[in-house]
Amino acid sequence: MSIQVFGTPVSRGVAIGRAVLVASSRVDVAHYFVPTERIDSEIERLRVARDAVSTELSTLKRDLPPEAPTELSALLDVHLMLLHDESLTGATKQWIVERHYNAEWALSAQLEVLARQFDEMDDEYLRERKADVEQVAERLLRFLARAKPGQAVPAGAEVPRARDFGGEEPLVLVANDVAPADMIQFKRSVFTGFVTDVGGRTSHTAIVARSLDIPAVVGAREASRLIRQDDWLVIDGDAGVVIVNPSPIVLEEYRFRQRQSELERARLNRLRHTPAVTLDGQAVELLANIELPGDAAVALEAGAVGVGLFRSEFLFMNRGGDLPGEDEQFVAYRDAVVAMQGLPVTIRTVDIGADKPLDRMSLQELRHEHALNPALGLRAIRWSLSEPDMFRQQLRAILRASAYGNVRILIPMVAHMGEIRLTLDALARARQQLDDAGCSYGQVQVGAMIEVPAAALAVGRFLDHFDFVSVGTNDLIQYTLAIDRSDDAVSHLFDPWHPAVLRLIADTISQAHARGKGVSVCGEMAGDAAFTDLLLAMGLRSFSMHPARIAAIKQRVLRVDTRRLAAGLPAVLSAEDPALEAARLFAPVLSAPSAA
């Protein structure tokens, strides 16, 4: 039977594929793909876990005191039987072999299948046996977590795709939510779309899906409960609808729309090497946001003229808390710099904290032990300054990479003059340590992220110490409006068009220009064509976005006259409804399409 699930549309387009459920569990489960050569070892991990739990249960049964109820012994027998049942561990192996899931993910996927089967049983007694299956599976998951799994596919490594394991069917990810670290694993893999129960337009799942031009619906509430493994899904990223097991007529209609979207992407792709120059001759710098060194090649292919944001924190994730050393970081930064062939590479120092913890345990610690509100807690430059050895290690690695090309350093979430002084002192000490060791490095510009209102209001003073600034609109909006962008209960209040937000951005751009300093925007607004005209009207000439968004933004740039845009800016900034005023004033500014 076909059903529809409604949520928030966050990335346009149509995705069609089989559902892959990342089921939530009372045990935290790692999700990653394993390469073909590690399939056997992953199955061995599962076997070792099964044998260990079997021994544990047998020992518990043997050591039962004489006065223990006979039902307890019988229950342990049931758990032992379930543990060795092919429908649990045997079928779990199939997920590992056919989908390349790691053992934990494969087990949780099979648990989801079995749980649904039990829920559909007519016999009440049998339905209640679902709890026994869950308890056995959770014992296995806990052992696997303790057993220190082998590293997930390393950062930058090629992740298996559907065709690599014999499947040609596209896959759609369905989850309660997806952690930022998991998104790095997933974004290079098999998924053509995303559906999550929670989240808003600026959740990390939404941001990654949008930047990769992958259709997505978030905040779908009951999606992971209503959708089953391997259901056929259609994601309508325009309407925010997920159609489960569509009829053949509906499926064909959406396949037609999908083909139309592919033709549009191909048309935009022809612009990738066209210079981004407005109708009145204003050159606009379109830079790329990247997470890993391998993304640099994608940025070049998309026509980026540099990297405006290298999110270095993703080198620190999916490592179980084992931080990368100086040499490992140096190699990653150097590889990205070399790959950009002399174009500028802006490396942001590690932005850890809040919704981007170092590992799975640290998120719980940040939320419950160290901070009531992690978004306002120890994160970004605050965390780096609290770990001076780690921070200087990263700064030395970046400086060493600067010997191979044009490197700039970007400091996240700066708000206090004291933080600026400590940061520049750490950089000076890192330089001195490299000098003492005889290591070469180049000249680097140092910039600050403007992502809290305090920084935007004090940007004139900050520019006394920094060479450039980069506006991080995602956090700037969050902190200006006091909206937790990861909380779907208030995410509808997250408003990039809010007059206060626009004023802070416009003032930052204006002050940077007045001081002759560089300014760019690297948040979501930079890659959203709805804001391109407005940012150009403010005087912005440097945008940084995911490579997949460059062609669409370039098309917009090629069609406008910035002089006419600037003339309408005061009316937009003073309007009660800036979005409506911008639509009224800027729409006529567009020329006829000429870049197809």
Percentages (nearest 5) of helix, strand, coil residues in the chain: 50, 15, 35
Dist. CA 93–CA 125, nearest whole Å: 28
**For strand 232-236 and strand 216-218, is the pairing parallel, antiparallel, or unpaired?**
unpaired
**Distance between CA atoms of residues 477 and 332, nearest Å:** 31
CB atoms within 10 A of CB 578: 21
The helix or strand, by DSSP H or E, that contains position 411, with its residue range, turns out to be strand 407-411
3-state secondary structure of 157: coil
Classify burial at 377, counting beta carbons within 10 Å of its beta carbon; exposed 0-12, middle 13-18, buried 19 or more: middle
On the CB side of 595, CA atoms within 13 Å amount to: 26
Q: Which two tokens stand for residue 114?
A: 């079995």
d(CA 376, CA 369): 14
Q: Annotated catalytic, 439?
A: no
What span, in angstroms and rounded, lies between the C-alpha atoms of 397 and 401? 6
Phi, psi torsion values for 278, nearest 5 degrees: -70, 170
For the record, the structure tokens of 207 come out as 């941001």
In this structure, the strands spanning 14-22 and 8-11 are unpaired
* Residue 225, beta-bridge partner list: none
Q: What is the CA radius of gyration of the chain?
A: 26
State how far the Cα of 241 lies from the Cα of 260, in Å rounded to an integer.
Answer: 19
Output the six-digit token pair for 415.
């708000």
Q: Which of 31, 100, 522, 546 is catalytic?
A: 522
| Per-position DSSP letters for 25-76, written without gaps between them | -SS-----B--GGGHHHHHHHHHHHHHHHHHHHHHHHHT--TTS-HHHHHHH
Q: Which residues contact 410 (CB under 8 A, 6 or more apart)?
A: 309, 346, 347, 348, 349, 447, 448, 449, 470
Among 195, 213, 298, 303, smallest CA distance to 261 is for 213
Instruction: Give CB contacts under 8 A, 24+ apart, made by 479-485.
Output: 479/451, 479/452, 479/453, 480/453, 480/504, 484/373, 484/375, 485/200, 485/202, 485/203
Among the options 79, 204, 465, 492, which is catalytic? Answer: 204
Handedness of CA 138, 139, 142, 148 (dihedral sign): negative
Q: Token pair of 421, please?
A: 């002084």
Q: Which two tokens stand for residue 582?
A: 């911008």
What is the amino acid identity at position 179? A
Q: How many whole angstroms separate alpha carbon 166 and alpha carbon 100? A: 11
Whether 204 sits among the annotated catalytic residues: the reply is yes
User: Which amino acid appears at position 293 of this protein?
Assistant: P
Structure tokens at 223: 């999606």
Q: So which residues are the catalytic ones?
A: 204, 522
